[in-house]
Each structure stands twice: as structure tokens, then as C-alpha cells.
């Protein structure tokens, strides 16, 4: 991998990690369209450490409060009913599905799941799901001629059941094209949470899973065509760009619809299917290129 490829892929990772359009799919597609070799699952997982570092800094007050209250609640019974202590447990519980499936499906994640036809399918299907979830949220928030505004749930209403369902949604993002934020935000909206609450828990829930995945893949870094230098450089780029994007996204979702992302996902999926069907791209484009 060249330094230029590293810069572009780090930029793509930072731009797409927090948007509901799938960063892993865009890293895979960028390499395929440019005629570069697929950076691979290890490169993707490690560069995501950069974007998660941006999450930690952006939500540092929330994270610090949750860790402090949760750790003290282990010895102080009175704190065990505190919202921050419960959030600590809910993040742990919600991380279980992706941890189990990530290890179980490791070979598939690094192989068949990176097929461009599967990515096109997940882009379209999850785009439709996000669109439905967005419309339901908008209907509750605005009401209508014959409907009253419906109060949606916030993180204070989060239960173990909902935390696990969030976790299952996050685990779906092991397939490129699904999108970690897209799946968890869609799940949260379908469960009746506000846009801001769904996004906030989605980002907090991703921290242990992404960091664990990145550390787990460190052993494979520097192998093949991707060396340590470009990988670290891409991770730094992803961190800087990711911080800017998450700050923008949290403001965007407060009063905007997800429909632009829905339309983008569906059009990209259709275009990808067309390119593969016409022979312009092979389903495994980039896997042997370079």
C-alpha cells in the first residue's frame, strides 16, 4: 500500500464511520474502483481505532462519568440504580453479540462477506430499513392531522432487553455494507427511541467492540501488501476527520431526516449491482489487484 492509498483510505474511514452508510463497504469499494488491492478486514479494524478515539474524546465527559459511577457501584450498593452505573452494564451487555459473532465468523468476515454483490445487497436492504425507521420516528415527532405527537424513549428508558437488541443490530455490521451506526440507529428508532438517544448509545456501544476488534487484528497488521507505516498514517487521518464528522452528525440528527443517507445507500447499491452485472467490476475486485 502506498502512502497516497493510505491517505485516501484513512479519509474515507473518517468520513463514513459515523454516517449510516458503512465505512467498511466504502473502504472496500474505494479500493475496487481505484484498482487497488483490498485493504482487508485487519486494516479496516485498526483504522477504526482512530475513529473510536474521536468518539472517546467527543463523549469524554459522558464516558468518564459512566466509568466512574459504574466502577464505584461495584462496591457501593446505593449507586447500582444510578443511570450512569446502569449504562456501564448496558454497554457491556450490548457488546456481547458482536464479540461472540465476530470470533465465530472471522473467516467469513475476511472472505465471503467482502463480495461486492453481498455489499450491494446490504446497502439497499439496510437503506430501506433505515428509511422505514426514519419515517416512523418522524411520524411520532411531528404527529399529523389525525395523530398526536408521541413521546419517544430516551436513554433513561434503556433496559437490558433493549440493550441486547441494540447489540444484535450492531453485530449485523460485521457484514460490510450494513453500517454499525446505520444498524444500531435503525434498531433504536424502531424500538421507539429518539434520534439523538439512538445515535448516542450507538456510538458509546461501539467503543469496546471496535477497540477490541482493532487490538485483536494488530497481530495481522504489517502482513501482505499493507505495512505498519501506512496503517498508522491512515488511522491518524481517520481520527482527525472522524472527530469533525461526529460533531457535525450529532447536530444534524437533532432536526434532520436520514432520508439523504437512505437514497444514497440505495443508489450506490443499485449502481454496484449494475457494474458487477455488466462485467465492469468483478465480485471480488481488488482482492488480487495491485
Q: Is there a domain that residue 241 lies in?
A: yes
What is the b/e burial string over 53-83, where b = at least 16 CB atoms within 10 angstroms of the residue's CB? bbbeebbeeebebbeebbeebeeeeebeebe
Taking the C-alpha atoms of residue 241 and residue 75, their distance in angstroms, rounded to an integer, is 40
What separation in angstroms does the CA of 178 have from each of 77, 181, 228, 262?
40, 9, 28, 12
What separation in angstroms does the CA of 125 have from each of 43, 53, 99, 112, 135?
26, 30, 24, 18, 16
Question: Any idea which residue has 497516497 for its cell?
Answer: 4
Q: Is there a domain that residue 288 lies in?
A: no
Question: Any idea which residue has 479500493 for its cell?
Answer: 31
Q: Is there a domain that residue 160 lies in?
A: yes
Q: Is there a domain that residue 284 lies in?
A: no
Q: How many structural domains comprise the chain?
A: 1
Q: Is there a domain that residue 289 lies in?
A: no
Q: In Å, how far from its chain's centre is CA 286?
A: 23
* C-alpha cell at position 232: 498508522
Q: Is there a domain that residue 95 lies in?
A: yes
Structural domain including 192 reads 3-33+40-278
Taking the C-alpha atoms of residue 147 and residue 109, their distance in angstroms, rounded to an integer, is 44
Q: CA nearest 287: which of 4, 41, 78?
A: 41
Q: Is there a domain that residue 283 lies in?
A: no
Taking the C-alpha atoms of residue 30 and residue 12, their distance in angstroms, rounded to an integer, is 8
Taking the C-alpha atoms of residue 9 and residue 96, their distance in angstroms, rounded to an integer, is 29
Hey, is 290 helix, strand or coil? coil
* C-alpha cell at position 1: 500500500
What separation in angstroms does the CA of 5 have from each of 9, 221, 268?
6, 16, 22
| Residue range 177-225, pLDDT digits in tens | 899 899 999 999 999 999 999 999 999 999 998 888 787 777 666 565 5
Q: Where do runs of H (alpha helix) occur along the chain?
A: 3-16, 23-34, 40-58, 60-73, 83-104, 106-110, 116-142, 160-171, 180-190, 195-217, 228-252, 259-277
Q: Over its length of 290 residues, how does the chain's per-residue pLDDT go in tens digits?
A: 889 999 999 999 999 999 999 988 898 889 888 888 878 777 888 888 899 999 999 999 999 999 999 999 999 999 999 999 999 999 999 999 998 888 888 788 777 887 899 999 999 999 999 999 999 998 887 776 666 778 899 999 999 999 999 999 999 988 888 998 999 999 999 999 999 999 999 999 999 988 887 877 776 665 655 678 888 999 999 999 999 999 999 989 877 889 999 999 999 999 999 999 998 888 876 554 33
Amino acid at each position: 500500500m502506498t502512502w497516497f492509498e493510505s491517505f485516501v483510505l484513512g479519509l474515507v474511514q473518517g468520513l463514513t464511520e459515523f454516517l449510516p452508510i458503512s465505512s467498511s463497504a466504502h473502504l472496500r469499494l474505494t479500493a475496487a474502483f481505484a484498482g487497488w488491492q483490498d485493504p482487508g478486514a485487519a486494516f479496516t479494524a485498526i483504522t477504526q481505532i482512530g475513529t473510536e478515539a474521536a468518539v472517546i474524546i467527543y463523549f469524554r465527559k459522558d464516558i468518564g462519568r459512566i466509568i466512574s459511577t459504574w466502577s464505584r457501584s461495584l462496591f457501593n450498593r446505593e449507586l447500582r440504580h444510578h443511570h450512569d452505573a446502569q449504562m456501564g452494564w448496558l454497554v457491556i451487555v450490548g457488546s456481547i453479540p458482536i464479540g461472540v459473532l465476530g470470533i465465530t465468523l472471522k473467516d467469513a468476515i475476511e472472505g465471503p462477506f467482502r463480495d461486492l454483490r453481498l455489499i450491494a445487497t446490504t446497502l439497499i436492504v439496510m437503506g430501506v430499513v433505515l428509511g422505514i425507521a426514519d419515517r416512523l420516528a418522524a411520524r411520532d415527532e411531528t404527529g399529523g392531522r389525525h395523530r398526536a405527537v408521541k413521546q419517544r424513549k430516551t436513554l433513561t428508558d434503556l433496559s437490558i432487553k433493549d440493550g441486547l437488541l441494540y447489540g444484535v443490530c450492531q453485530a449485523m455490521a460485521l457484514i460490510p455494507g450494513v453500517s454499525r451506526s446505520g444498524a444500531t440507529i435503525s434498531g433504536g428508532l424502531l424500538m421507539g427511541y429518539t434520534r439523538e438517544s439512538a445515535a448516542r448509545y450507538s456510538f458509546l456501544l461501539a467503543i469496546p467492540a471496535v477497540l477490541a476488534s482493532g487490538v485483536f487484528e494488530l497481530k495481522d497488521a504489517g502482513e501482505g501488501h499493507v505495512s505498519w507505516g501506512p496503517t498508522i498514517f491512515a488511522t491518524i487521518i481517520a481520527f482527525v476527520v472522524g472527530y469533525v464528522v461526529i460533531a457535525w452528525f450529532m447536530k444534524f440528527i437533532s432536526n434532520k431526516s436520514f432520508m439523504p443517507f437512505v437514497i444514497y445507500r440505495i443508489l450506490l447499491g443499485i449502481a454496484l449491482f449494475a457494474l458487477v452485472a455488466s462485467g465492469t467490476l468483478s465480485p471480488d475486485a481488488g482482492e488480487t489487484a495491485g
